[in-house]
Structure 1
Amino acid sequence: MLRTTITMLLSLICGIYAHSAEPSRVQETLTVNEVPELRGYLGERWEANRRGSLHQFDIDRYTKLVEQRTHREWWWAGEQDGKWLESAVLSSANSDPALRAQAKAILDRLIDSQEPSGYLGITPQDIRTAQQPLRGMDPYEDYFRLHALITAYEQWGDEQALTAARRFGDYLLGHIGPGKAEFWPSDLRPPANEKRTLEGFTKIAGHAVHYSWEGTLLIDPMLRLALATGDERYSEWSKWVVGNIDTWSGWDSYSRLDQVASGELGVHELQPYVHSHTFHMNFLGFLRLYEITGDESYLRKVAGAWDDIAARQMYITGSVSVGEHYESGKLRPLTGHVVETCATMSWLQVTQYLLELTGDVKYADAMEKLLWNHVFASQAIDGDCYRYHTPPNGVKPEGFFHGPDCCTSSGHRLVSLLPTFLYGKDDQGLFINQYAASTVEAQLPGDRTIRVRQETNYPESPQIDLTVESAPDSSLAIRLRNPSWCQTPSITLNGKSLSNVTPGSYLTIERVWLSGDVIQASFPMELRWVQSDATWKTVIRTLPGGEIMHDPVPDATGPWALIRGPVVYAADTLWWSNPEVPAPHRVGDDLAFVLHDTSPQQVDTPAGLIGPSYKVPAITSRGQHVDVLLVPFTNIGHWYRDDQRKPDKHAAAWSYAVWLPSHESPEFQERLKLRQQQEQQLASAFDYVRIGNHESETLHQVQGGETGQFRDRSYRHGVDFSYTMKMPTERSAKLIVTYWGSDCGREFDVLANDQVLDTTRLNNSRPGEFFEVAYPLSQELIAGKTNTFGQKEDNITIRFRSRTQQVAGGVFGIRIE
């Protein structure tokens, strides 16, 4: 009842701000209280998040950062308390009193630590001044802390939380504004800052390459505060902030969003670096301004940017970001640092907000694709961590276990918000936006409640049963989304078929509902191959601040993927079961689909996975024909099998791939030739290491460094790394190492048993090609040495050690002949 009252108050406030304009929302968000049950696959992932992430997280450590307030470094560390608190408030709404009690205790500690000035963060008072009232990354941290306070108020009715949020909002009003501090990304002022490329850090606006947007993102929680309190000062401040983005950025990047909306620009052209997550957080603020003011220019800018991103930069799995930013054209690399979890979270929120403001089914369809693919692909199976990046083709469990950092906490916040993504409501009734086993109890105006139970194994099965468990004795509407991808949807009410069930629309059923009424929906899913239209092959470069950028390699043949309805499939070597053919090292590189042989054959899905699963014909880069198992991409968080020993959490023990080449593609044919050459070389070698192969590197006692992928090859590089290898006991030998000729600025010693064989310098000496260097190995390295059994010692340690404390390597191949 408390939450209903607050919702009605927010609607009233919105109407006041809009000066009696038409309501700007088509749908209202449901709270987690209104979705009391999640079951099936989504329920399992929700529970894993609660148990594995929220209960296990050391929130006391990060709360002390706020209480002690001694963090003087520019770098961010203060987002964890806000994200955890909001996640815990949401995840304990309908169960878990222990988590709720812990969240309440953390909330009280944060409130008690708030300064008399209203500041609530981790930055000490003595380094905050009138000119610099926040530390460099304060805005990003404060964004989540403010949201957490408002969520605690809305969920619990905690007035102290709202008061703390207001006091911090007043701190921002008192210190940032006309004649006060502003969100300048550098010391340059107009006109000197116009069209200038920046690097480094800012005083109060985050990274300079974000061009003020990492400070202005505070408009989102400030506008939510305006809606919660009815205080127009917060919305007026936010309008002032938005009105200055063009000036601060030096690129007119806010105004030029209109050119993006009209198709004249891509979103990546707004400024030299467009950080996905940062822009999304600002977009949420622009949409709140539209909701408050009714000014459609805010909506037009965000909807136009969304259309551009969805058309060019959205991956087949529904998520976004190349590195952490947006790129030109359809440049979407398959591997490496792509699809950031923070960007996944905020992209889903922006998409939901656009759905609620416009009612356009395309946004619900995009949410569906993201929910059933990338959201849980980023989550480790036990819910205890989230990937920073989740590329369509990659390795695991390497990449899952790190942090705590921005993406681990965005992961648990995203999953905690899950119940709010499934349904919508308005004065007339309920919207079924997503299909998942759950129960909804929507609170409607006039003290009316409708409770509906959704039973389904969707998307494993296309069938959905919706049973009305209780409803008021007045007419209400239930609207069901008919996905755009389904050409033959069907819906029945109490066994009677309904008409006008049109793909890409909502079917409205309006009536006086009775307990026991049943709606049955069926959305048949077509299994089909799709070929990528993206520029997927790239060369990586980095900006001075470390931001990863991609330069396209043209004319690469598009790889293929299998989809079924909204579900995207992946090959995953964790489930490789062919005893005759070893699992490929990098399945996306070393395996190709044979597309014209047969249709995919449905097979049993491994236990614990969501299905269905299929086997398809393929060929390895060694020319071996195999049937490969494809499972839904959402399952890649499984990083161990119950019937096998767990690998090291940081090992590249398994590989997976959404996209595989056709066996007829020029790239794969070249791969076959290259593999044949490599196998011939290795066959004549005395010993060799398969770089990046967990089994081979472990056998050779690898120490130090890290692996990566480049040009379809694996490499190892680092400040200091080594292997233990065997050499002949009766003759001298050669150590042969493969390097990339375009690497530059690298100087390192190559050692054998601590003897320097050579100092190698890589300085772009063989641009665009791999090359080999042979280092003589003297028999004196092992002469006269025996092991504990009196046998001649044939092991030597091959070491690569940087002379500049930078990078040695990368080493793409290593063998002894």
Structure 2
Amino acid sequence: MRFRPLQTLSLSVLVSIAALAQTTPVANRAPLAPTPYTELPLGSIRPTGWLLTQLETMNQGSTGHLDEYYPKIKNDNGWLGGKGDGWEETPYWLDGAVPLAYLLDDPTLKAKVLKYINWTLDNQRPSGYFGPTTKYERETGKPVVSGEQGDDWWPKMIMLKVLQQYYSATADPRVIPFMTRYFRYQHEHLAKNPLVKWTEWAQARGGDNLMLVYWLYNRTGDKFLLDLGEQLRTQTTPWTRYFGERNWVMQAAAQQNGQQWMDRHAVNVGMGLKLPVIEYHGKRDTKQLEAFKTGWSDLMLLHGLPHGMFSGDEDLHGNDPVQGVELCAIVEAMFSLEQAIAIAGDVTYMDALERMTYNALPTQTTDDYNSRQYYQTANQVEVARGVYNFSLPFTRGMNHVFGPYAGYTCCTANMHQGWTKFAAHLWYGTNGGLAAVEYAPSVLKTNVAGTLVTITQETAYPFGETVAFTMDMAKPAAFPLEFRVPGWCSEGTLTLNGQPLSTGKGGAMLRVQRSWKPGDRLMLTLPMRVTTSNWAKNSRAVERGPLVYALKIPADWTQKELKEEGIYYEIKPKPDARWNVGLSLNVVKDPVANTTVTVRNAAPTGFVWNEANAPVEIRAKGREIPGWKLVNGVAHQPISTREGFYRGEVNPQEEEITLIPYGCTKLRVVAFPVVR
């Protein structure tokens, strides 16, 4: 069904539009609260080095080709006017594929995603409603006019995020009027057709809708949007109250029944994290920011795991390292933290985003980016079909294996936004300057102080401890630059053209205001020391810089197939591989003296996230714990007592163990019992 004459723009015209796109960030418009940081237009940052390889791998894999083989997207797609998928999975895929297309400036992928964008923009109903054909429209042949004739609000929130990013990259003039018409439709019909009318998903995830309303207000100043924002806020799950009042997070740790389970659903929580900071836009009350900080701290205390993510299989499920983490929850929590960074400006959230991205994210996909794991576990000693220790097992036992479709297929479509949005948020704009909040090899090109500035970031980070920034512009320009000194670093040092410039304590931004010249080269050094951290059951994890290190377990991969879910992979330790080892107490007492760090690749440029290519190894000492065995595939952890070590039987012979970055593993132990 076509609702208006299709007016698809050619790719050449859209390229011309892109040349007119904004190259400077847009600040908040009164009465919204001013924020310390603003997002840069999509495409301002181009990946290089190992990050470029990661994104190219995604483009060659499922991110660039999901529409060619995944039946839900390929067959008669509802977001192209067909009768197929008209819910969340097509917008989910686009939510990662669109930023990838513009980060790589790839014409093939741009053309692919533009099919869906053009159809959506060119088939908006006169009422402002948009999206796939509704039941009412199929039955009557008439377009949606009133709210009850529409359909679930939730998938439209994702598609609006897609359009927001597309506009950020291209400034396509169709987007702003399109969003204005839709939000007028929402404003008129939400009272009688609230977010929860069709599904609870829209109610739980209404913060995404509110975020987009404020984004549009900053560009148009239409006053009705502020009223719409208040409607959305009152209809959305009250995450701000949950985080601030604290009872919710404790109850989530204690209760795993069916009551209010949507409030414990880890993906909902990951999305809900942004609501307090988005609400702060409109309320201008620091209580919202305080609620977020309290909630984040409590969430990670009660449910946090060494890789930087909270448990969620699908419920929040405590801090035991054998509980699962859903891939969708990781990428959604990352996006929420990217919003929190801009609005709160707190280094805590920059560090949290870094830890989650460089540890939890890469381990849950295969090297070709075609298969993924629905749930990962921190201490993951085998990957096979089974129930394991999850709160939501499926009858086919496919939650733990790697495969294109294993478990729920939401992750098949939604995993693509993790790396792409992280790459697009390495830098933010400030009041007249720029802030480097995350580090990865890349090139930034943007307008600052009326000057087009290019900053090339060369680094082996997160494996290496130096980050070089080379400035390029037509003429000298004065503006401030900010650099994050991570909380794990005691002190960062900055040199300019080989001469000392500034130092900064960990957990703060290092700010430099000066006139910059073409060719200026800054070197930020963030010394990485080996440390240990304390986790559930008094276990210890070994860390160096932003990375957590895990036991390297040689593994055998087996490809299998299940009729209902296609091919999948099981991974088990090689017959002679030892995994049941405790970490020597001496390592805990003096990690630097009792470990050896080996940098295997000081300048990684290819694919880094597997055992073979791990750029850094750490050698330490440990002992076998004979009684530590798998039970139904789960490595339930021996308890280190309050005295600081495991008191059961251990092998008297100490042995050397090899640790590699957690993100490079598929099998591992990361939270170690401690042995004497």
TM-score, normalised to structure 1, is 0.63
Q: Deviations over 1:384-435 (max 9, x none)?
A: 2333222212234853314382223222112221222211222332212122
Alpha-carbon spacing, 1:585–1:357, altered in 2? closer, same or farther (3 Å): farther
In the other structure, the counterpart of 1:419 is 423
C-alpha distance in 2 between matches for 1:319 and 1:505: 22
C-alpha distance in 1 between matches for 2:287 and 2:346: 18
| Cα pair 1:35 1:440 within 8 Å, conserved | yes
Deviation at 1:9, TM superposition (A): 8.5
Alpha-carbon spacing, 1:148–1:418, altered in 2? closer, same or farther (3 Å): same
| Cα pair 1:361 1:505 within 8 Å, conserved | yes
Q: Which amino acid aligns with 2:77?
A: K
In the other structure, the counterpart of 1:565 is 545
Q: Which amino acid aligns with 2:661?
A: P
Deviation at 1:634, TM superposition (A): 0.9
In the other structure, the counterpart of 2:297 is 307
In the other structure, the counterpart of 1:236 is 227
Deviation at 1:169, TM superposition (A): 2.9
SS in 1 for 2:309: coil
Deviation at 1:513, TM superposition (A): 0.8
C-alpha distance in 2 between matches for 1:68 and 1:85: 16
| Cα pair 1:469 1:515 within 8 Å, conserved | yes
**Pick from 612, 629, 632: which aligns with 2:658?**
629
Alpha-carbon spacing, 1:268–1:98, altered in 2? closer, same or farther (3 Å): same
| Structure exhibiting the larger radius of gyration computed from Cα positions | 1
SS in 2 for 1:381: coil
Residue pairs, 1:544-623, within 5 angstroms: 557-574=537-554, 583=574, 590-596=580-586, 599-603=594-598, 605=600, 607-614=612-619, 616-619=621-624, 621=626
| Cα pair 2:277 2:288 within 8 Å, conserved | yes
Deviation at 1:450, TM superposition (A): 2.2
C-alpha distance in 2 between matches for 1:307 and 1:506: 20
In the other structure, the counterpart of 1:660 is 672
- Aligned pair 1:98/2:93, yes or no? no
C-alpha distance in 2 between matches for 1:293 and 1:460: 41
Alpha-carbon spacing, 1:584–1:31, altered in 2? closer, same or farther (3 Å): farther
Q: Which amino acid aligns with 2:168?
A: E
**Pick from 343, 367, 370: which aligns with 1:381?**
367
Residue pairs, 1:335-350, within 5 angstroms: 335-336=322-323, 338-350=324-336
C-alpha distance in 2 between matches for 1:80 and 1:587: 40
Q: Deviations over 1:672-731 (max 9, x none)?
A: xxxxxxxxxxxxxxxxxxxxxxxxxxxxxxxxxxxxxxxxxxxxxxxxxxxxxxxxxxxx
| Cα pair 1:603 1:613 within 8 Å, conserved | yes
C-alpha distance in 2 between matches for 1:466 and 1:231: 40
Alpha-carbon spacing, 1:584–1:478, altered in 2? closer, same or farther (3 Å): farther
| Cα pair 1:493 1:517 within 8 Å, conserved | yes
In the other structure, the counterpart of 1:332 is 319
- Aligned pair 1:410/2:414, yes or no? yes
Alpha-carbon spacing, 1:460–1:253, altered in 2? closer, same or farther (3 Å): closer
In the other structure, the counterpart of 2:130 is 119
In the other structure, the counterpart of 1:31 is 41
SS in 1 for 2:43: helix
C-alpha distance in 1 between matches for 2:377 and 2:586: 27
| Cα pair 1:205 1:216 within 8 Å, conserved | no
| Cα pair 2:213 2:225 within 8 Å, conserved | yes
Deviation at 1:206, TM superposition (A): 2.5
C-alpha distance in 2 between matches for 1:596 and 1:265: 35
In the other structure, the counterpart of 2:200 is 206
**Pick from 389, 398, 401: which aligns with 1:399?**
401
Q: Which amino acid aligns with 2:193?
A: A
Q: Which ranges of structure 1 fall in alignment gaps of 5 or more residues?
A: 185-202, 535-556, 577-581, 638-654, 665-817
Deviation at 1:153, TM superposition (A): 2.1
C-alpha distance in 1 between matches for 2:251 and 2:290: 14
In the other structure, the counterpart of 2:179 is 165
| Cα pair 1:204 1:215 within 8 Å, conserved | no
In the other structure, the counterpart of 1:480 is 483
Alpha-carbon spacing, 1:159–1:131, altered in 2? closer, same or farther (3 Å): closer
C-alpha distance in 2 between matches for 1:417 and 1:162: 22
Deviation at 1:454, TM superposition (A): 1.5
Q: Which amino acid aligns with 2:670?
A: V
C-alpha distance in 2 between matches for 1:171 and 1:306: 34
Q: Deviations over 1:102-146 (max 9, x none)?
A: 2222322333444444231364326899685555xx333222111
C-alpha distance in 1 between matches for 2:26 and 2:469: 30
Residue pairs, 1:444-593, within 5 angstroms: 444=448, 446-470=449-473, 472-532=475-535, 534=536, 557-574=537-554, 583=574, 590-593=580-583
| Cα pair 1:369 1:566 within 8 Å, conserved | yes
Q: Which amino acid aligns with 1:659?
A: A
**Pick from 432, 442, 445: which aligns with 1:428?**
432
Deviation at 1:373, TM superposition (A): 0.9
Alpha-carbon spacing, 1:530–1:9, altered in 2? closer, same or farther (3 Å): closer
**Pick from 43, 49, 56: which aligns with 2:58?**
49
In the other structure, the counterpart of 2:49 is 40
Q: Which amino acid aligns with 2:427?
A: Y
Deviation at 1:341, TM superposition (A): 1.9
Q: Which amino acid aligns with 2:204?
A: W
Alpha-carbon spacing, 1:428–1:221, altered in 2? closer, same or farther (3 Å): closer
Alpha-carbon spacing, 1:341–1:472, altered in 2? closer, same or farther (3 Å): farther
Q: Which ranges of structure 2 fall in alignment gaps of 5 or more residues?
A: 1-16, 254-258, 385-399, 557-572, 588-592, 601-610, 628-650
| Cα pair 1:27 1:425 within 8 Å, conserved | yes
Residue pairs, 1:639-718, within 5 angstroms: 655-663=667-675
Alpha-carbon spacing, 1:352–1:586, altered in 2? closer, same or farther (3 Å): farther
C-alpha distance in 1 between matches for 2:599 and 2:329: 34
Deviation at 1:530, TM superposition (A): 2.9
| Cα pair 2:134 2:149 within 8 Å, conserved | no
C-alpha distance in 1 between matches for 2:505 and 2:474: 27
| Cα pair 1:387 1:401 within 8 Å, conserved | yes
**Pick from 69, 79, 88: which aligns with 1:66?**
79
C-alpha distance in 2 between matches for 1:305 and 1:124: 40
Q: Which amino acid aligns with 1:427?
A: N
C-alpha distance in 2 between matches for 1:612 and 1:435: 21
- Asked which structure has the greater RCO (Cα within 8 Å, sep 6+), the reply is 2
| Aligned residue pairs, count | 570
Deviation at 1:377, TM superposition (A): 1.7
Alpha-carbon spacing, 1:455–1:67, altered in 2? closer, same or farther (3 Å): closer
Q: Deviations over 1:621-648 (max 9, x none)?
A: 37586533211011126xxxxxxxxxxx
SS in 1 for 2:505: coil
TM-score, normalised to structure 2, is 0.75
In the other structure, the counterpart of 1:716 is none
Q: Which amino acid aligns with 2:538?
A: G
SS in 1 for 2:463: coil
Q: Deviations over 1:536-572 (max 9, x none)?
A: xxxxxxxxxxxxxxxxxxxxx4322211121101123
Residue pairs, 1:141-180, within 5 angstroms: 141-177=155-191, 180=192
Alpha-carbon spacing, 1:214–1:35, altered in 2? closer, same or farther (3 Å): closer
Deviation at 1:514, TM superposition (A): 1.1
Aligned Cα root-mean-square deviation (Å): 3.4
